[in-house]
Amino acid sequence: MKEQDSPAKGKPDYIVPGLLRGLSILGLFGYRRPTMRLADIARELNLPRATAFRLVYTLEQEGYLLRIKESGAYSLGPLVLTLGFDYLHSQELVQIAGPLLDGLRDRTGASTHLAVLDRFDVLYIYRAASHERLSSNRHVGSRLPAHVNSIGRAILLAFSDEELNDMYSGVDLRVEGHDEPRDLEVLKRYVAEERERGYVAGSFVPGIAHVAAPVRDASGRAVAGVNVSDYESLPCMQDMHGVLKDEVLATSAEISSRLGHSGHTLRATPPESKRS
């Protein structure tokens, strides 16, 4: 491609304001704010209400936003999810981990999951649902704060205290429905204990048990995490720190090996910017 035909990153002349505003609207939605009203969108982006309406209406008509009739608020539409899932499912990580997580599910009888770190959240990109009548309801596309999630904490095992300081300093760690960790020092203490053990196990949600471990790539970075997560009444959950832990660690090690990991010490890559 000739130089004059290539996009010039950062040059204002090449930026389409309408497209940028539309993308900014989609970026407002997330785990902590799944719905928004038109007035809130206009205020957040400092847009005239009429401009916000036209942008939101266009996104709604194209399937990127969905209007909730009862409240008049908006949520992300099915097209956003479809595009995201198609991308995720085409990636090497899911292709490698999927069959292994299916096998882990079949051996344990519990649901298994794969998730990646996305700034301060974990994003679930694969789920092998339990064949049992009772099953975890964590679906692909779900997002949860990493520090109160088993897979998130498994990924954080690769962070040093200094990296945890850089990532979470000044960030409010309080999450509704979770008593701990509520501050950085408590989080570092939890991570230190779990790092020593090499895996994460316990109950982050009442009635649900988890065992999680990190997944590492060829460079040794923690690029994802896997877990077994399901009702604590399932038989496999009665030996979380024994057989089940061994199964999860073996599966994470096999995925890591297929990604080129040789067994050297892993490190994670902290997010580039703090959550506001």
Q: What is the CATH number of the domain that holds 34?
A: 1.10.10.10
- Do residues 224 and 115 lie in contact, with contact meaning Cβ atoms separated by under 8 Å? yes
User: Is residue 263 assigned to a domain?
Assistant: no
Between 110-114, 126-130, 196-200, 265-269, the lowest mean confidence (pLDDT) is in 265-269
Res. 268 pLDDT band, cuts 50 70 90? very low
Q: Is the residue at 219 inside a domain? A: yes
Same domain, yes or no: 70 and 103: no
Judged against a pLDDT cut of 90, whether residue 201 lies above it is answered with yes
Listed in sequence order, the residues at least 6 apart from 38 whose beta carbon sits closer than 8 Å to its beta carbon are: 49, 52, 53, 56, 72, 74
Reference 88, options 113, 109, 68, 66; nearest CA is 113
DSSP summary character for residue 267: B
133/234 same-domain check: yes
Helices (H), the chain: 17-27, 38-44, 49-61, 78-89, 92-108, 150-156, 161-168, 184-197, 245-258
Q: Based on the domain organization, do 151 and 189 belong to the same domain?
A: yes
Q: How far apart are the first and last CA of the chain?
A: 39
Residue 10 and residue 73 share a domain: yes
Contact, 121 vs 143, CB < 8 A? yes
Does 124 lie in the same domain as 203?
yes
| Average pLDDT rounded to a whole number, residues 78-82 | 72
Q: What is the per-residue pLDDT for 226?
A: 97
Average pLDDT score over the chain: 84
Degrees to nearest 5, angle at CA 176 with 171 and 177: 130
In this prediction, residue 272 carries a pLDDT of 44
Domain assignment of residue 269, yes or no = no
pLDDT band at 81 (very low <50, low <70, confident <90, very high): low
pLDDT at 157: 93
Q: What is the pLDDT of residues 2-35, one digit of tens each?
A: 333 333 445 567 788 888 999 999 989 876 788 9
| Domain contains 216 | yes
Q: Same structural domain for residues 62 and 135? A: no
pLDDT of residue 135: 58
Q: With respect to residue 157, please indicate whether it lies within any of the assigned structural domains.
A: yes
Q: Tell whether 64 is covered by a domain.
A: yes
Q: What is the pLDDT of residue 259?
A: 85
Q: Which of 44, 77, 110 is the last residue of a domain?
A: 77
Helices (H), 8-72: 17-27, 38-44, 49-61
CB 30 within 8 A of CB 48: no
Mean pLDDT of 80-103: 76
Same-domain pairing of 157 and 251? yes
Same domain, 60 and 106: no
Top-confidence residue, 39 or 69? 39
For the segment 144-170, the average pLDDT, to the nearest whole number, is 92
Instruction: Please report whether residue 83 resides in a domain.
Output: no
CATH number assigned to the domain comprising residue 138: 3.30.450.40
Domain count, the chain: 2
Domain residues for 237?
91-258
- pLDDT at position 48 over 90: yes
Cβ neighbours around 268 below 10 Å, total: 20
Higher pLDDT, 202 or 91: 202
User: Does residue 268 form part of some domain?
Assistant: no
Dump pLDDT digits (tens) for 212-256: 999 998 888 898 999 999 888 889 998 999 999 999 999 999 999
